[in-house]
Amino acid sequence: MKGERALARIFLVRHGETLWNRNFLYQGQKDIPLSEKGRKQAKKLAKALEREKFSAVYSSDLKRAYETALAIASPRGLDVICIKELRELNFGKWEGHSYEELQKKYPVEFPMWLNDPGEIRPPEGENLRELTQRVVGFLRKTAKEHKNEDILVVTHAGPIRAVLMSILDLDIKHFWKFKISNASITVVNLDDSGDVCSDGSFIIKVNETAHLE
């Protein structure tokens, strides 16, 4: 039909739980593996997604994402393609600390970052605009390569929020208002232009966790 465009359906999955998640520590790009609970969550994800026919499985190259992706891909005989661009936000020197610790240790820098995370970087880290550019840049390219296909992308809360923000064309200040739980499923469609802001791109579901109950 005239006007219709090819779509790539992208299943955005957040990795399972880690001990740092449980202890409310900023992980960023520290390579923390799944906890025992996280491995169980990954198995539940695999069960929940077993009827989906993925043409490819992409993952952040960090252990917690890769382990989650492997649990889903291995029963299908699919390889997991590791992509650095799918890593979590780089929190720099703040990684390994809790919110409360950062408030005390960085009484000036931390509140400034909370108020303007789009422009301000954590020490030796990156800001949210840089995160969004690398994640959305990867998805633009990938959507063009997988027209009319379903693909799985296993990543982190930050990248998933960045995709949702871009599709909705929201101001960066709304970034933290999306709850993205461990082992949750978010699904979006991107049209064949690869432009996440186009009229042909839309959100199907956000933060589905019923499979974990």
The pLDDT tens digits of the residues spanning 121-154 come to 999 999 999 999 999 999 999 998 998 999 999 9
Q: How many helices (H) and strands (E) does the chain have?
A: 7, 6
Angle between helix axes 128-145 and 157-168 (nearest 10 degrees) is 80
Q: Find out whether 186 is annotated in a ligand binding site.
A: no
Q: Find out whether 142 is annotated in a ligand binding site.
A: no
Which candidate in 67, 85, 88, 126 is catalytic?
Answer: 88
Closest C-alpha to 181, from 212, 135, 136:
212
Residue 20, CB-side half-sphere exposure with 13 Å CA sphere: 17
Q: How confident is the model at residue 2 (pLDDT cuts 50, 70, 90)?
A: very low
Instruction: For the chain, list the domains and their CATH numbers.
Output: 7-90+129-212 (3.40.50.1240)
Tell me if residue 154 falls in helix, strand or coil: strand
Q: How confident is the model at residue 201 (pLDDT cuts 50, 70, 90)?
A: confident
pTM for this model (two decimals): 0.94
Closest C-alpha to 53, from 121, 126, 146:
146
Angstrom distance (rounded) from CA 144 to CA 161: 21
What residues pair up with 5 in beta bridges, in sequence order?
none
Whether 15 is catalytic is: yes
Which residue type does 18 have?
A: T
Q: Is the pLDDT of residue 4 over 60?
A: no
Which candidate in 15, 97, 146, 156 is catalytic?
Answer: 15
Show the DSSP H helices in the chain as ranges.
19-22, 36-48, 63-73, 99-105, 109-115, 128-145, 157-168
User: What Rg, from alpha-carbon coordinates, does the chain have?
Assistant: 17
Specify the pLDDT at position 172.
Answer: 87
Q: Find out whether 207 is annotated in a ligand binding site.
A: no
Residues 6+ apart with CB under 8 A from 177: none
Whether 174 is catalytic is: no
Q: Is the pLDDT of residue 192 over 80?
A: no
Specify the pLDDT at position 1.
Answer: 38
Specify the pLDDT at position 30.
Answer: 98
Q: Find out whether 134 is annotated in a ligand binding site.
A: no
Share the mean pLDDT of the chain: 93
